[in-house]
Amino acid sequence: MRLPVIAVHYIPIFTGGDYSKGLSDGGASMSLGLEREIVDQTTYDQNVETLRGMGIILPRIGYLADPVQQPGETIENLSSISPDAPDPGNLFRIHWFNNEHRKELVEIPEHIVLGTELTGVEAKIIVLFGNRFPMIRAHKLLAAYGCLVPKLLSGKFNVAEQCAVWPSTGNYCRGGIALSRILGCRGIAVLPEGMSDERFRWLENWSTDPSDIIRTPGTESNVKEIYDVCHKLSQDPNNVILNQFSEFGNYVIHRAVTGPALEHVFNFISESTPLHARAYVSASGSGGTLAAGDYLKERLDVDICVVEAIECPTLLYNGYGDHNIQGIGDKHVPFIHNVLNMDFVIGVSDRASDGLSLLFNTTVGRKYLAERTGMDQQRIASLGDLGYSAIANILGAVKYAKYMNLGPNDAVLTVATDGAELYATELGVLEKQFAGNKFDKLNAAEVFGRYLLGVTTDHMIELDRIGRERIFNLGYFTWVEQQSVSIEDFDSRRDPKYWDRLMEMVPIWDDMISTFNAS
């Protein structure tokens, strides 16, 4: 029997068109967070007056990239300000160089190097800690700042009169609410109802009105439901939607700040132990953190590996589903995700991240690890700096190391976007999955053997041109058909120069910040 012939149309990589249009003329791309000049002078003047009256100074992106080398830009007496208060001084802590207590600068961003005893692979897994950020103890505060600043400096957002809407799967909206409190404006958090209790408790303490916390149906992967709510909110002109999935400020600030922080850590470690950086691994999320990979590929020639839950394998198999790796999104391709620069897609199960969360954060689990691996108590305690998505990133790094047969002189870089403190109440729920509703030493051994030492290279794709284009094209259905992005803006992102040109915004925005502060 002859099989039917199926015609498949591959769209070639885009090389024509004016990809820089949105960067230079205030056209359609202005709605995607690429404001480079004042578009409403009256609103701009009001913003200057409002922030001056509150004594607020905005940090430049250049400062956030390396605050240790630019101490003159910081405000005085920062050490006296609580990192958990909605104080303007905490704007100068929106970077990776805070110490464990988040009060003082460190020369090298805090991190952990995971070795063979824990991971089962010879390569070094270098993990940057995101819970050193102020107020929300998560790196999404950086993304929120990157999305807000262009709107504030261009006069497209009136801080005294308009409401900032922060669509999120958890941490980004908390970052947005923290910034809203500092600026004295109303902020609305939009996030799935299934996120951790810790996130909602934080929001309840920081939001000025309970109605400003909007719980959408579903869990981590229900992003469209968030978009639907934002579409309704956008009908009111007083609401400004700051969508991390499509605002290029998210991409720009991570490539400008997170990328160099990772390079800084890698160079520091390599001084004593010469290493070859092989890959950068990050969960898909909003696409912003992945921008650090574009920086590291340019500087260190690494592969870029994207992690997602196999329970919702959007990039792997055009699949769908629910999962509990909170903070990584799913079921769509973010607009600011530079898909055509990816090298691998790596699937990780939420059963693994759930189980390892228990192993890393219970007395039984830590005692077992001490006995089994010989790790000292300080290093074991550092595992508490790893939230769900961090654990998923580490597992992705281990899978990559096994697939590539990496050796002891190789390194894989990744980030812990938040820490285990955001999931403490979920430990009891996870324990109920075990016999007797208790996680014991035998369970710890099983989890360690199955989800770390037993990691395999299943659910991985090493991408070629066709694979990258398949994923890129998948984004059409969200952004063009659902969210009304023009096909020209959608396709312009095929050109690698488009993403490089985005970084022209850093000196432009820094100059605008300096002018704004001096006004």
259 three-state secondary structure = helix
CA quadruple 30, 34, 37, 38: dihedral positive or negative? positive
Residues 6 or more apart whose CB falls under 8 angstroms from that of 99 comprise 105, 106, 110, 132
SS3 360: helix
Domains of the chain in sequence order: 29-106+136-247 (3.40.50.1100), 111-132+250-473 (3.40.50.1100)
CA distance 49 to 40: 14
Q: Which amino acid is at 472?
A: F
Per-residue pLDDT of the chain (519 residues; tens, 9 = 90+): 333 333 333 333 333 334 334 443 333 333 588 999 999 999 999 999 999 999 999 999 999 999 998 766 666 678 889 999 999 999 999 999 999 999 999 999 999 999 999 999 999 999 999 999 999 999 999 999 999 999 999 999 999 999 999 999 889 999 999 999 999 999 999 999 988 999 999 999 999 899 999 999 987 788 889 989 999 999 999 999 999 999 999 999 999 999 999 999 999 999 998 999 999 999 999 999 999 999 999 999 999 999 999 999 999 999 999 998 987 877 899 999 999 999 999 999 999 999 999 999 999 999 999 999 999 999 999 999 999 999 999 999 999 999 999 999 999 999 999 999 999 999 988 998 887 889 999 999 999 999 999 999 999 999 999 999 999 999 999 999 999 999 999 999 999 999 999 999 999 999 999 999 999
The residues that bridge with 347 in the sheet, in sequence order, are 308
Distance of alpha carbon 432 from the chain centroid: 30
pLDDT of residue 74: 67
pTM as predicted: 0.93
pLDDT (tens digit per residue) in 275-308: 999 999 999 999 999 999 999 999 999 999 999 9
Burial of 482 (0-12, 13-18, 19+ CB in 10 A): middle
- Side-chain-side CA neighbours of 72 within 13 Å: the count stands at 0
- Both tokens of residue 7? 């015609």
